[in-house]
Amino acid sequence: MGFGQIYHYMEKGIINTIQKVSQLMGKKGHHAVNAQSKGKSMQDIIKIIELKFPETMYTFERLNKEQYELFAKKQHDYGPGNISMGGNKELSLLALAIRMNDKVQRLLNILHNNKGETAVEESLKDTFQDLSVYGIIAQIVSEDKWGK
């Protein structure tokens, strides 16, 4: 599969996501593995994975801390109003999906058309961070915890 096909599928998926975001609100859609059902505690699983992939797990934890700090700084500057959309959860999630789509479209354009070069002082890492944080914010909004 070439990059053009991947680009097409990602673009189509993003459009479908935006169209369906209000349908997904309130539905339990995650398929988390219940560690207890496999006979191991979550602590056991974490320890196993940390031993097997120490650099990956350390980096994951470090990046989460960096993103938490970035989130705090941005909330200090923006406040909750830019996400809460006057308390309209559906509109908040749609706005987040649009912001995430903007970031994905930027990534696709930079990687596909610009061969990795950016003209703005925003690195690819910054864009990945924004996507990750927007995903967490969407989860907070979905759980009705935003701004509380």
Whether residue 87 contacts residue 147, with contact meaning beta carbons closer than 8 Å, is answered with no
| pTM strictly above 0.75 | no
Task: Round to the nearest angstrom and report the end-to-end CA distance of the chain.
Answer: 45
Query: Tell me: the pLDDT tens digits for 66-109?
Result: 999 999 999 999 999 989 888 899 999 999 999 999 999 999 88
What is the full per-residue pLDDT of the chain (148 aa) written as tens digits?
A: 555 555 555 556 665 655 555 454 444 444 444 444 467 888 999 999 999 999 999 999 999 999 999 999 999 999 999 898 888 999 999 999 999 999 999 998 888 888 777 788 888 889 999 999 999 999 999 999 999 9
Whether residue 94 contacts residue 21, with contact meaning beta carbons closer than 8 Å, is answered with yes
| Distance of alpha carbon 96 from alpha carbon 90, whole angstroms | 10
| Distance of alpha carbon 77 from alpha carbon 111, whole angstroms | 30
> Which residue's structure tokens are 């960096």?
66
